[in-house]
Amino acid sequence: MRVGMGYDVHKLVVGRDLIIGGIKIEFERGLLGHSDADVLVHAIMDALLGAAALGDIGRHFPDAEEKYRGISSIELLHNVNCLLKKEGCIVNNIDATIVAQRPKMAPHIEDMRLSISKALEIDIKCVNIKATTEEGLGFTGSGEGISAMAIASIDEIKV
């Protein structure tokens, strides 16, 4: 078994959709980024790539490449899963935390789990997502941005 961790943060801005865990959440602001800026999926991708010692998402999906502008992070997550399979690895489980003062994430967590489990082709029971606030402290607490962290475990398949 191999383990990796990931972290991501994006600024909240007017004029963007809020996409977290592959789910569009109704909110007056969205996350700023080259792709859809899905902090949760970005953290999960980095955790998986780290577990496989394959670098990070910037290495595989650079923001300097126009083809990734506005792309769905769920699509990129599926691509990471394909890369892991090519390397002889399978995903065991994901445990992730979203840090956001607003909006409330609880109503969306099951849909996020399903979206992520489908992209990774794993059982939904292998994807855990939690959410927390920072009690008004820091950039997430003030509503300037949202962050996420994740840990993932993978196994190497012996062929």
Phi, psi for residue 114 in degrees, rounded to 5: -65, -45
State yes or no: 63 annotated in a binding site. Answer: yes
State yes or no: 104 annotated in a binding site. Answer: yes
Of 118, 136, 135, nearest to 126 by C-alpha is 118
State yes or no: 100 annotated in a binding site. Answer: yes
State yes or no: 64 annotated in a binding site. Answer: yes
State yes or no: 140 annotated in a binding site. Answer: no
* Structural contact between residues 37 and 16, judged by C-beta atoms closer than 8 angstroms: yes
State yes or no: 113 annotated in a binding site. Answer: no
State yes or no: 133 annotated in a binding site. Answer: yes
State yes or no: 106 annotated in a binding site. Answer: yes
State yes or no: 132 annotated in a binding site. Answer: yes
* Structural contact between residues 11 and 32, judged by C-beta atoms closer than 8 angstroms: yes
State yes or no: 34 annotated in a binding site. Answer: yes
The first and second tokens of residue 1, run together, are 């078994």
Helix axes 39-51, 73-86, angle to 10 degrees: 10
State yes or no: 51 annotated in a binding site. Answer: no
State yes or no: 159 annotated in a binding site. Answer: no
- Amino acid, single-letter form, for residue 6: G
State yes or no: 62 annotated in a binding site. Answer: yes
State yes or no: 75 annotated in a binding site. Answer: no
For the annotated binding site for a divalent metal cation, the residues are 8, 10, 42
For the annotated binding site, the residues are 8-10, 34-35, 42, 56-58, 61-65, 100-106, 132-135, 139
